[in-house]
Structure 1
């Protein structure tokens, strides 16, 4: 029985590493590395949660192609149950250009059509889970109302939302916990204030190397520094790992401050790995990096 239901996109991506992102002009570039690998924000969250020891059901859409087969193989993980609706045509695919400093341009190559209905298992999974993570996609949008009807708290990761785009509004309005990147927000504090005033319990803004800023309905303002990574290999999946680390803390009934520290620790492990989700990601590892004991809420001794 899942503790968390994750609904949203998975993909099979081509990752191309270059010295710097190209300027908008005709030119020839040489890649320092390239590979095909698992991608997609919901794949990142679900796989990270499973490796943190959380039982998770991942509801997504796959095409009936070779990429879909590869995605299934990558998601064969203990504690993760894949509920994939298969549609004719391609699985979602991206081309990600990655610069040495971690900057990224993601180009959508293929997007599967959204199915007409959610799978029959959706209602049963929502009835049993503690949290529904609903990621940005047309197919997952239906889960917002389903989760609300089931009385399940909704977590939404808005990524680089600018505060205005219409596509994100349903997700923002339904979310009990909102996570957003500061990349395109003109005023993160104003955005977080508005999100909590509109009904969110927690609103969190990730700021890369500057850590995270959060506002809790009862906790007030909190800031957590970024956890220094031993080295940065690939920034893909860092935001998903942050959300998964936060969720681990929430499921352990920890306060918001501890959840943020666990999220930062999980993000640091993510950027130190070329994989979407690091094989070093475990609950014990993120607790140790965050300086938290395994029992809920107690700090480890210095």
Structure 2
């Protein structure tokens, strides 16, 4: 009898230890939106970065910009724990981006429309702003794509679809550095994400938006603001966009929207030189569109689930 009690006590302790360990682990969140992009911010979550589930809930409804849409939501967390969100507010005739902040991803500050291209009156758009926290300079970098007709040489694409990347920096989202050209790779480029591998070792993932390419590639730099060089060959099929990368273990997974095939794709890499297509190994809910991935703890996820009316871990 005593041995039985000891046995079940041991099992209970092991179970509690496992549960405690599991609950302490971080999980992955993927910002998301659904077309036609007027409903607002959604989240996917995953425990392994391969299998994703959707929190069927709108966490922030877009209220700024003439079109009042939210596309391409990008979130980065500052050293103070505050989450910062930027997004595309319009397809065209919009020189600004959306911004809001939150302590818990549920309750958000008043939305703002930041006129990042106000200094360029001929600007057509401001697409897919992406946030990166530069922990060396202690500042946020916002990178987006804009078209200024007849500013740069172009290929087959229309003059109003000839994008280059621009940026601004901020430490408090109240004051911003003057917007400047971030990247002119001599081709139309959109959907860029800065990744840090180590000190003075950065990778830029981007979409070559030229015709007929429209696929994903990377370039490298020793500073997050560039200059970027050693451009790779494209490693996705044509008609790919919205790349988003996250480190999972020793690997980097780069997700992308294979929009002609109407599904999300993914490639795996460790060195950003060789890439393996793992699209058939990932499971991403139908309807998910261009976002970014970041990590949170289980407690944060459970609060999001509670807000969404979903069962907690």
Provide the TM-score with structure 1 as the length reference. Answer: 0.34
Higher strand share: 2
Structure number with bigger Rg: 2
> Going by fraction, where is helix more abundant, 1 or 2?
1
TM-score where L is the length of structure 2:
0.33
